[in-house]
Amino acid sequence: MTSDGHEVPVDSGLRQLCLTLRPELRRFLLARRVSEADVDDLLQDLFLRVETSVTGPVRSPRAYLYQMLNNMAHTRRRTEARQQARDADWLGAPSGVVAADVEMMDLAPDQEATVLARDHLARVEARLAKLPERTAHVFRQYRIEGLSQKEIARDLGISLSAVEKHLQRAYGAVLEIRNRLDPEGAPATGAGPAAHDNAGGIDATAR
């Protein structure tokens, strides 16, 4: 799984590695389309997190830093997207209605979210039912029960790459189903609702 198996003591080692790898981490963030201005910010954030939140020795420290950074880049983009959506709501809504809307959002009962999630789950299950039994089983083991790909391979007595193939297929099918609650899942403007369930499945506006 990891090409670089030696452990690095947290305090000085990881921090040092952060500094050493700075140029390539920068490059990675740019490839992840983080704006030039945000890159240093994220790297600084990474540095702080390494100092404050990493508690045990880390195996494969370089991959670990990439993983952290990759998650942070994703989180940041999501936060920005939400912020923009919120700003758009505020700007778009006639004044006076805003407060009520916002209040509604705050009050949005957990129950409603649960109903939506149940609905989503039902559609996921329906989609899985159309796949080969073993593919669906591997997906459930991985995504719902949280087993690692290796554990699944071992349990089923199949190769890791076979597990990957099952997952690839299941994800291809399941990720097309959008949670109706997720605003980013809304179909592209102009693409019409038909784009929602089409075979391509990629929503080009999901930025």
Partner 1 sequence: MQQLAEQSMREAAIAWHLRLTDGSDADWDGFADWLEADPRHNDIYEAVCDADLALEPAVEIAREAPVEVPGVIKAEPFPEMAPVRSARRWIWPAMAASVAFVALGTWAGSGLLTSDYAVRTAPGETRTFALADGTRIVLNGGTEIVLDKADPRVATLKGGEAQFAVHHDAVRPFTLSVGDQRIVDVGTVFNVRSGKDALRVEVAEGAVRFEDGMTHVRLNAGDTLDAGSGTIVEGSRPTAEIGGWTRGRLVYHDAPLVEVVADITRARGIAVELGSDISQRRFSGVIQLDGDDVSLQKRVGTLLGLKVTATADGWSITR
* Residues in 49-108 at the binding interface with partner 1, rule: CB under 8 A: 49, 51-56, 60, 62-63, 66-68, 70-71, 74, 76-79
Contacts to partner 1 from residues 97-156, by CB under 8 A: 113-114, 116-118, 120-121, 124-125, 133, 136-137, 140-141, 143-151, 155-156
Do 44 and 85 form a contact (C-beta atoms < 8 A)?
no
Tracing tokens 């494969």 back to the chain, one arrives at 60
Nearest distance from residue 94's CB to partner 1, in Å?
Answer: 26
Buried b (16+ CB within 10 A) or exposed e, 121-151: eebbeebbeebeeebbbbbbbbeeeebebee
| Beta-bridge mates of residue 59 | 7
Among 19, 48, 99, 108, binds partner 1 (CB under 8 A): 48
- Among the listed ranges 29-37, 87-95, 96-104, 186-194, the one in contact with partner 1 (CB under 8 A) is 29-37
State whether residue 173 is helix, strand or coil. helix
Verify binding: residue 201, partner 1, rule CB under 8 A.
yes
Do 190 and 206 form a contact (C-beta atoms < 8 A)?
no
Comparing CB distances to partner 1, the nearer of 36 and 145 is: 145
Nearest distance from residue 93's CB to partner 1, in Å?
Answer: 20
- Among the listed ranges 28-36, 89-97, 186-194, the one in contact with partner 1 (CB under 8 A) is 28-36
Nearest distance from residue 110's CB to partner 1, in Å?
Answer: 10
C-alpha angle 20/58/25, rounded to 5°?
30
Nearest distance from residue 12's CB to partner 1, in Å?
Answer: 14
Which uninterrupted H or E stretch holds 7?
A: strand 7-8
